[in-house]
Structure 1
Amino acid sequence: MRNPIPDLLDELRERCADDDGGEVLSTIPELAKADPDRFGIGLCTIDGTVYGTGDAEHRFSIQSISKPFAYALALADRGRDTVLEHVGVEPSGDSFNEISLEQSGRPRNPMINIGAITTHALIGHEGISRKQRDKRVQQGLSAFAGRKLDVDEEVFASEQSEASRNLALAYLVHAREKLDGEPHHAVEGYIRQCSLLVDVRDLAVMAMTLAAGGRNPVTGEQVVPTWVCTQVLSVMATCGMYDASGQWMSTVGIPAKSGVSGGVLGALPGQAGIGAFSPRLDEIGNSVRGVRAFEALSADLGLHLMHAPEVASHVLYGVVEPDADGDGLREVQLQGTMHFAAVEVALRELEEVPDGESFVLDLSRVASATDVGRRLLLEAVERMRADRREVRITDPHDILGG
Structure 2
Amino acid sequence: MNTPVPDYLADLLRNCKAAHGGELADYIPELASADPTKLAVALTTLDGVIYSAGDDEHEFSIQSISKAFTYAYVIEELGLQRVMRKVGVEPSGEAFNEISLDKTDEQQIKPKNPMINSGAITVHSLIPKAEKSCRAETVRLFFSKLAGRELAFDQEIFHSEKETAFRNLSIGYSLRNFNILESDPVEIVESYVKQCAINVTVKDLVNMMSVLVNDGILPRTGERILSHKTVRQVLTVMTTCGMYNAAGDWLANVGIPAKSGVSGGIIGVLPGQVGLAVFSPKLDRYGNSVRGIDIMQQMSRDMGLHLLEGVPSSRVIINDHDVKQIKPEVIVYKLQGVLQFTEAERLLRKLQDEKQCNHTIVFDLSHISLVNDVGRRMLLDGIDRLRADGHDVALIDPEHIIPDAKTDRDFEPKIYEDLEQIPD
User: Aligning the two structures, in what range does the TM-score lie when normalised by the shorter sequence?
Assistant: 0.7 to 0.9
- Residues in 2 aligned to 1:54 and 1:179: alpha-carbon distance in whole angstroms: 41
> 110, 115, 118: which is aligned to 2:119?
115
Q: Which amino acid in structure 2 is aligned with residue 90 of structure 1?
A: E
Shift of 1:128: 4.6
> 291, 304, 307: which is aligned to 2:306?
304
Shift of 1:221: 3.0
Q: Which amino acid in structure 2 is aligned with residue 147 of structure 1?
A: R
Distance 1:182 1:54, change over 3 A: same
Distance 1:211 1:130, change over 3 A: farther
Cross-structure match for 2:342: none
What secondary structure is seen at the aligned counterpart in 1 of 2:109? Answer: coil
Aligned-pair Cα RMSD in Å: 1.8
Matches within 5 A, 1:218-229: 218-229=220-231
What secondary structure is seen at the aligned counterpart in 2 of 1:106? Answer: strand
Shift of 1:70: 0.6
Q: Which amino acid in structure 1 is aligned with residue 308 of structure 2?
A: M
What secondary structure is seen at the aligned counterpart in 2 of 1:102? Answer: strand
- Residues in 2 aligned to 1:96 and 1:311: alpha-carbon distance in whole angstroms: 34
- Residues in 2 aligned to 1:180 and 1:149: alpha-carbon distance in whole angstroms: 29
Cross-structure match for 1:100: 100
Shift of 1:298: 0.2
Instruction: Report if the CA contact (8 A) 1:94-1:243 is conserved.
Output: yes
- Residues in 2 aligned to 1:181 and 1:275: alpha-carbon distance in whole angstroms: 35
> 246, 264, 278: which is aligned to 2:280?
278
What secondary structure is seen at the aligned counterpart in 1 of 2:266? Answer: strand
Cross-structure match for 1:400: none
Extract unaligned runs of 5+ from structure 2.
Answer: 317-335, 339-366, 368-424
Matches within 5 A, 1:15-26: 15-26=15-26
- Residues in 1 aligned to 2:278 and 2:254: alpha-carbon distance in whole angstroms: 14
Cross-structure match for 1:78: 78
Answering whether residue 220 of structure 2 is matched by residue 235 of structure 1, we say no
- Residues in 2 aligned to 1:98 and 1:241: alpha-carbon distance in whole angstroms: 14
Cross-structure match for 2:49: 49
Instruction: Report if the CA contact (8 A) 2:134-2:191 is conserved.
Output: no
- Residues in 2 aligned to 1:242 and 1:144: alpha-carbon distance in whole angstroms: 25
Distance 1:224 1:132, change over 3 A: farther
- Residues in 1 aligned to 2:185 and 2:93: alpha-carbon distance in whole angstroms: 25
Cα shift readout 1:2-35 (whole Å, capped 9, x = no counterpart): 2110111111111111112101111111111100
Q: Percent identity?
A: 48
Q: Which amino acid in structure 2 is aligned with residue 111 of structure 1?
A: M
Cross-structure match for 1:359: none
Matches within 5 A, 1:354-373: none
Cross-structure match for 2:214: 212
Q: Could you state the TM-score of these two structures normalised by the residue count of structure 2?
A: 0.72
Instruction: Report if the CA contact (8 A) 2:162-2:190 is conserved.
Output: yes
Cα shift readout 1:50-87 (whole Å, capped 9, x = no counterpart): 11111111000000000000101110111111100100
Cross-structure match for 2:158: 156
Instruction: Report if the CA contact (8 A) 2:211-2:226 is conserved.
Output: no
Shift of 1:212: 1.1
Cross-structure match for 1:14: 14
Matches within 5 A, 1:320-331: none
What secondary structure is seen at the aligned counterpart in 2 of 1:38? Answer: coil
Shift of 1:89: 0.3
Q: Which amino acid in structure 2 is aligned with residue 106 of structure 1?
A: K
Shift of 1:310: 4.8
- Residues in 2 aligned to 1:130 and 1:177: alpha-carbon distance in whole angstroms: 25
Answering whether residue 72 of structure 2 is matched by residue 68 of structure 1, we say no
Shift of 1:223: 2.1
Instruction: Report if the CA contact (8 A) 1:208-1:268 is conserved.
Output: no
Cα shift readout 1:66-122 (whole Å, capped 9, x = no counterpart): 000010111011111110010000000000001200123200000000110000011
- Residues in 2 aligned to 1:310 and 1:274: alpha-carbon distance in whole angstroms: 19
Cross-structure match for 1:292: 294
Q: Which amino acid in structure 2 is aligned with residue 117 of structure 1?
A: I
- Residues in 1 aligned to 2:40 and 2:268: alpha-carbon distance in whole angstroms: 14
Shift of 1:165: 1.0
- Residues in 2 aligned to 1:147 and 1:290: alpha-carbon distance in whole angstroms: 25
Distance 1:130 1:232, change over 3 A: farther
- Residues in 1 aligned to 2:16 and 2:41: alpha-carbon distance in whole angstroms: 11
Shift of 1:134: 2.6
Instruction: Report if the CA contact (8 A) 1:130-1:185 is conserved.
Output: no
Distance 1:310 1:166, change over 3 A: closer
Cross-structure match for 1:324: none
Cross-structure match for 1:384: none
Distance 1:132 1:32, change over 3 A: closer
Distance 1:252 1:173, change over 3 A: same
Q: Which amino acid in structure 1 is aligned with residue 278 of structure 2?
A: A
Instruction: Report if the CA contact (8 A) 2:13-2:40 is conserved.
Output: yes
Cross-structure match for 2:146: 144
> 181, 186, 192: which is aligned to 2:188?
186
Distance 1:150 1:310, change over 3 A: closer
What secondary structure is seen at the aligned counterpart in 2 of 1:257? Answer: strand
Cross-structure match for 1:3: 3
Distance 1:263 1:64, change over 3 A: same
Instruction: Report if the CA contact (8 A) 1:59-1:199 is conserved.
Output: yes
> 173, 192, 202: which is aligned to 1:171?
173
Shift of 1:206: 1.6
Instruction: Report if the CA contact (8 A) 2:256-2:305 is conserved.
Output: yes
Q: Which amino acid in structure 2 is aligned with residue 116 of structure 1?
A: A
- Residues in 2 aligned to 1:10 and 1:36: alpha-carbon distance in whole angstroms: 18
Instruction: Report if the CA contact (8 A) 1:146-1:219 is conserved.
Output: no
Cα shift readout 1:255-298 (whole Å, capped 9, x = no counterpart): 00000000000111011111100000001100000000000000
Cross-structure match for 1:257: 259
Shift of 1:189: 1.0
What secondary structure is seen at the aligned counterpart in 2 of 1:12? Answer: helix
Aligned residues: 315
Cross-structure match for 1:317: none
